[in-house]
């Protein structure tokens, strides 16, 4: 093996401080295997993407079959069976009214597409609205547009000169929801273009959770004022919150919805942005200047679409909802004892996702204990990636109770050995 320093620059990694990355060579179910034969329990679904488990045989077979038949074709002026089938299934599966599907490559690009759809809609309907409303602590990606609508802080401080301004609404913290709704009502009177939200759970902002009733009321306020609602379901989609899509729990149909991570079961990068027919119609014209000008070279890549189609077939044909309900119940049983443990605060669960906060004097993404917690879990063969002093567990849906035992035992041990160090 080549022992010279790697030329790879890893994401969200401070190479001056981080340990050498682990060489992963295989995966199955909820487990990763390293080049030295070590095993790692993937407690965060490899950055929230793996749903049914690593290397699911149906998805792997679909990828292999498609790779030998059609690997890539330009999607402007062309289409292919896998993309057509995925689009039709998504229209059938998602909240009614989302009738058009635009393919892209990642969660960030799905949100960029949504922002451009909203801007195009208002431009082509003659109002020219451009102001975006967003929740504080939100995170929507790392491109310039998605950093602009996300919370300002350490993630994007270096790029501040390139970012556009948005109207930021307070997070609907339990007991203070009305402040958010009042701020939204006031902002909507200024005729903004859209409200962008992560439904029910703000992911990278600290796994912050709010009630479906709040999302329903936010949607109602937007509807009264004719403001577009964009649901960023990149993380919350495909079962993480307990339902197929988080918006279902609030009875909300957004005007635009973004899906990505779980779309292929986590096997390949693919994203979609769905919208109501009125938004598509605003771009439909004999005037070529009203074309929706967005693409990437690999839009609707056939191999990625084949993986997505296999994933959607699994949702249709296998008892995935039952597996999610079972995992949610296991997660609740494992996290419940921590609610009475004074070493932890903010113990919370939404569907298959749990999160809890370690007591820390410098809470937040750069909390001093963050790297120490990560190292502690790494040494115990767990893939847990704390958000500062917040530890969350978001495992694949195949994860067992015994595997959760390993995870939560390590979290409890970390409270003694790391948090008190």
Residue with tokens 């379901």: 233
The reply to whether 180 falls in a domain is yes
Give the pLDDT of residue 282: 98
The reply to whether 165 falls in a domain is yes
Q: Give the chain as a 3 state SS string.
A: CCCCCCCCCCCCCCCCCCCCCCCEEEEEECEEEECCCCEEEECCHHHHCCCCCECCHHHHHHHHHHHCCCCCCCCCCCCCHHHHHHHHHHHHHCCCCCCEEEEECCHHHHHHHHHHHHHHHHHHCCCCCCCEEEECCCCCCCCHHHHHHCCCCCCCHHHHHHCCCCEEECCCCCCCHHHHHHHHHHHHCCCCCEEEECCCEECCCCCEECCHHHHHHHHHHHHHHCCEEEEECCCCCCCCCCCCCHHHHHCCCCCEEEECHHHHCCCCCCEEEEECHHHHHHHCCCCHHHCCCCCCCCCCCHHHHHHHHHHHHHHHHCCHHHHHHHHHHHHHHHHHHHHHCCCEEEEEEECCEEEEEECCCCCCCCCCHHHHHHHHHHHCCEECCCECCEEEECCCCCCCHHHHHHHHHHHHHHHHHCCCC
In the listed set 295, 317, 339, which residue is the last one of a domain according to the structure?
Answer: 317
Give the pLDDT of residue 2: 65
Give the pLDDT of residue 241: 98
The reply to whether 360 falls in a domain is yes
Q: How many domains does the chain have?
A: 2
The reply to whether 244 falls in a domain is yes
User: Is residue 387 located within the same domain as residue 359?
Assistant: yes
The reply to whether 221 falls in a domain is yes
In the listed set 284, 317, 350, which residue is the last one of a domain according to the structure?
Answer: 317
Range of the domain at 385: 320-417
The gap from C-alpha 245 to its chain's centroid, in whole angstroms, comes to 11
In the listed set 283, 317, 351, which residue is the last one of a domain according to the structure?
Answer: 317
In contact, 363 and 387? CB cutoff 8 Å: no
The reply to whether 49 falls in a domain is no
Give the pLDDT of residue 421: 62
Model confidence over 195-249: pLDDT tens digits? 999 999 999 999 999 999 999 999 999 999 999 999 999 999 999 999 999 999 9
CATH code where residue 338 lies: 3.90.1150.10
User: Is residue 250 located within the same domain as residue 343?
Assistant: no
pTM of the model: 0.96
User: Is residue 105 located within the same domain as residue 175?
Assistant: yes
User: Is residue 63 located within the same domain as residue 170?
Assistant: yes
The reply to whether 357 falls in a domain is yes
Residues of the chain with pLDDT under 70: 1-3, 419, 421
The reply to whether 25 falls in a domain is no
């Amino acid at each position: 093996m080549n022992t010279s320093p790697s030329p790879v620059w890893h994401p969200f990694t401070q190479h001056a401080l981080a340990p050498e990355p682990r060489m992963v060579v295989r995966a199955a179910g909820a487990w990763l295997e390293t080049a030295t034969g070590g095993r790692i329990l993937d407690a965060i679904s490899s950055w929230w993407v793996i749903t049914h488990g690593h290397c699911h045989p149906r998805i792997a077979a679909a990828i292999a079959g498609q790779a030998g038949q059609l690997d890539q074709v330009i999607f402007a002026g062309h289409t292919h069976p896998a993309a057509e089938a995925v689009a039709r299934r998504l229209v059938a599966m998602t909240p009614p009214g989302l009738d058009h599907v635009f393919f892209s490559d990642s969660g960030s690009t799905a949100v960029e597409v949504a922002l451009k759809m909203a801007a195009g809609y208002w431009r082509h309907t003659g109002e020219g609205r451009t102001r975006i409303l967003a929740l504080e602590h939100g995170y929507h990606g790392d491109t310039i547009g998605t950093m602009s609508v996300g919370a300002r802080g350490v993630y994007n401080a270096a790029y501040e000169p390139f970012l556009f301004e948005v109207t930021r609404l307070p997070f609907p913290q339990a007991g203070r929801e009305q402040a958010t709704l009042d701020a939204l009502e006031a902002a909507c009177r200024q005729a903004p273009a859209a409200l962008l939200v992560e439904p029910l759970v703000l992911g990278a902002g600290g796994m912050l959770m709010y009630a479906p009733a709040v999302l329903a009321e936010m949607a109602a306020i937007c509807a009264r004022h004719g403001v577009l609602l964009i649901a960023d379901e990149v993380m919350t989609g495909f079962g993480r919150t307990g339902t197929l899509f988080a918006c279902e729990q609030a009875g909300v149909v957004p005007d635009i919805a973004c899906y990505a991570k779980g779309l292929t079961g986590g096997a390949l990068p693919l994203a979609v942005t769905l919208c109501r027919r009125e938004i598509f119609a605003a771009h439909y014209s004999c005037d070529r200047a009203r074309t929706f000008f967005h693409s990437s070279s690999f839009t609707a890549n056939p191999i990625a679409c084949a993986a997505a189609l296999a994933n959607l077939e699994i949702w249709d044909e296998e008892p995935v909802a039952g597996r999610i309900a079972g995992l949610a119940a296991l997660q609740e049983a494992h996290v419940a004892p921590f609610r009475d443990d004074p070493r932890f605060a903010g113990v919370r669960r939404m569907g298959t996702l749990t999160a809890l906060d370690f007591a820390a004097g410098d809470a937040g993404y750069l909390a001093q204990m963050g790297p120490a917690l990560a190292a502690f879990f790494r040494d115990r063969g767990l893939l847990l990636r704390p958000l500062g002093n917040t530890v969350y567990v978001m495992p694949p849906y195949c994860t067992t109770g015994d595997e959760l035992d390993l995870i939560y035992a390590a979290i409890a041990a970390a409270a003694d050995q790391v948090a008190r160090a």
